[in-house]
Amino acid sequence: MSIDKNAVKNLIEAGKAVLGIEFGSTRIKAVLIGEDNAPIASGSHDWENDYVDGIWTYSLDKIHTGLQDCYQSLLKDVKEQYGIGIRSLAAIGFSAMMHGYMAFDRDGKLLVPFRTWRNTITEQASEELTKLFDFHIPQRWSIAHLYQAILNGEEHVKDITFFTTLAGYIHWQLTGEKVLGVGEASGMFPIDIATGDFHNGMIEKFDEKTASYGFPWKLRDIMPKVLTAGENAGALTAEGAKFLDISGELEAGIPLCPPEGDAGTGMAATNSVAVRTGNVSAGTSVFGMIVLEKELQKVHEEIDLVTTPNGHLVAMAHCNNCTSDLNAWVGVFKEFAESFGIEVDMNKLFGTLYNKALEGDADCGGLLAYNYFSGEHIVGMEEGRPLFVRTPNAKFNLANFMRVNLFASLGVLKTGLDILFKEEGVQVDEILGHGGLFKTKGVGQRILAAAINTPVSVMETAGEGGAWGIALLASYMIRKNDGEELDAFLNRAVFAGEKGSRIEPDPEDVKGFDQFIERYTKGLPIERAAIDFLK
């Protein structure tokens, strides 16, 4: 679809564009959208987490400079395309990787380095809180990190006056508001679906459980306020505007929508916020989410219960690892090509290697891989060791090698979704895929369809991902009709007429994936040995 550049230029100059910025695990991305909610410009900043003293983290300096560089990258794109800058915007939204732990004292000082979702260091807290609440509390949730810090006797806990997630932190810095969207909040602490707020009964249980420690705070006092999609979450302050735009051109006063997590923005970006829809987000981590018609029959350790940005109950199977190991292998092939003096186009390289996987044997020719950069609680691994293993008589060729690494990227996910479909009888009308795994047309989609034996659709906009999703949530706040629900807005104003491409599961692929999973499950002691002996 061609863009009327002059019309877009006028729109940006009139301050009617909407901005979404998402902090992903390996990239901070900005997407600017017009009044039709289609992207008109973008920017990005690549970054990586650090492993410091046994903690996966990003420093505040990395967070701040990453945000600023990402915004400058967006300005550069706007300048190149339309010959102008940005002085004002209709609305802004921020999102980030969910969960984790950022705790601050009364002066707004970060008390301990940011603990990201990737850490699997809260097992005791997770188990005790799950039992206390009769509700599964995953290790990466903010409340598990707080309670583990209490159990560990960490000195900083008594000084906390506020704790939040990365999305909540960025929003706070730019608006002064200590708030979270309900979807992101549901990864901090359980939500009461009836009230759309943190669950009061569970908060009381937590306060009773920790009363003997004598902290000067009660849990509710140090948590953000929970908001629902469509509500106003404050405005960009003068300091926030200078912080975001180091060139100083951006004006204060722009309204912001509630900050969300990457799960919520993924649901918005794939139009899967309505009941009986589902989506799989496959990037650095992978998670599958189904919007439920009713509550699950029992507590499942493998399944997290979160919400859509507008407060519907969602069952989520979350795995810490997806494309990191795949990307590392593609990097090796890039190095190989460059050693021969060949200039490499990364999009072409990914496309070529991913498509090669479709030529492989259905079961990957007997090859085996584990993509664990970090731990995977579903299979009981507290750390990760990426592995590639084969028997001498396995069919080792490029097609099978790429295929097994693609299969491995979805191995753990299958376990969780099988619980929903087979044990709980959850019904879903459609699964939508988005994220980096689906950028090469038809490949990741076909592999996912084989893994879950369900049709998978990918929309043309799938590559835009969460930054576009949070821009849509900001757009919803200012452009919704009176009383219009989020799913109705998305159907009317964003996805009307867009069908995307749908792939049915191929029976041979499904059979091959089942054979692979059997090998994968039997081989888990190899991964355990690698963790135990490779330090």
300 three-state secondary structure: coil
288 three-state secondary structure: strand
* 99-164+189-222 and 272-458+505-535 have identical folds: yes
Confidence check: pLDDT of 438 > 80? yes
- pTM comes to 0.83
Q: Name 430's bridge partners.
A: 277
Report pLDDT digits (tens) over 51-107.
Answer: 999 999 999 999 999 999 999 999 999 999 999 999 999 999 999 999 999 999 999
Between CA 348 and CA 355 the distance in angstroms is 10
Where are the extended beta strands (E) located within 34-168?
A: 39-46, 50-52, 55-57, 91-96, 102-104, 162-164
| Segment 168-188 mean pLDDT | 98
Q: How confident is the model at residue 461 (pLDDT cuts 50, 70, 90)?
A: low
As a CATH number, domain 1-98+232-270+465-500 is: 3.30.420.40
| Segment 435-441 mean pLDDT | 87
> Which class is 272-458+505-535 in CATH?
alpha beta
Q: How confident is the model at residue 463 (pLDDT cuts 50, 70, 90)?
A: low
Three-state DSSP string of 177-240: CCEEEHHHHCCCCCEECCCCEECHHHHHHHHHHHHHHCCCCCHHHHCCEEECCCCCCCECCHHH
Query: Residue 528: what pLDDT?
Result: 97
| Backbone phi, psi, residue 315, to 5° | -95, 130
Residue 506, Cβ density class (10 Å: 0-12 exposed, 13-18 middle, ≥19 buried):
middle
Query: Residue 389: what pLDDT?
Result: 98
| Segment 485-494 mean pLDDT | 95
| Segment 459-476 mean pLDDT | 85
Contact in structure between 392 and 434 (CB atoms under 8 Å): no
75-78 contact pairs (CB < 8 A, 24+)? 75/43, 75/245, 75/247, 76/43, 77/41, 77/42, 77/43, 78/12, 78/32, 78/41
Contact in structure between 84 and 14 (CB atoms under 8 Å): no
Helix (H) or strand (E) segment spanning residue 417? helix 411-418
Query: Residue 500: what pLDDT?
Result: 79
Contact in structure between 96 and 284 (CB atoms under 8 Å): no
Q: How confident is the model at residue 7 (pLDDT cuts 50, 70, 90)?
A: very high
The ranges assigned to domains in the chain are 1-98+232-270+465-500, 99-164+189-222, 272-458+505-535
Report pLDDT digits (tens) over 349-399.
Answer: 999 999 999 999 999 999 999 999 999 988 889 899 999 999 999 999 999
Confidence check: pLDDT of 230 > 90? yes
| Segment 137-155 mean pLDDT | 97
Contact in structure between 90 and 18 (CB atoms under 8 Å): yes
Q: Name 316's bridge partners.
A: 289, 304
Task: Please state, for a pLDDT cut of 90, what percent of the chain lies above it.
Answer: 84
- For residue 86, what are the CA distances in angstroms to 68, 173, 174, 312? 14, 20, 17, 36
Mean pLDDT, the chain, integer: 94
> Which class is 99-164+189-222 in CATH?
alpha beta
Query: Residue 422: what pLDDT?
Result: 86
Instruction: Report helix, strand and coil shares of the chain as percent, to nearest 5.
Output: 45, 20, 40
Query: Residue 266: what pLDDT?
Result: 87
Distant-in-sequence, close-in-space partners of 197: CB < 8 Å, separation ≥ 6: 191, 226
Query: Residue 454: what pLDDT?
Result: 86
Confidence check: pLDDT of 464 > 70? no
Q: How far apart are the first and last CA of the chain?
A: 52
Task: Please state, for a pLDDT cut of 70, what percent of the chain lies above it.
Answer: 99
pLDDT top residue among 15 and 281: 15
Report pLDDT digits (tens) over 12-56.
Answer: 999 999 999 999 999 999 999 999 999 999 999 999 999 999 999
Question: Which residue, 39, 2, 22, 4, is CA-closest to 459?
Answer: 39
Helix (H) and strand (E) counts in the chain: 18, 24
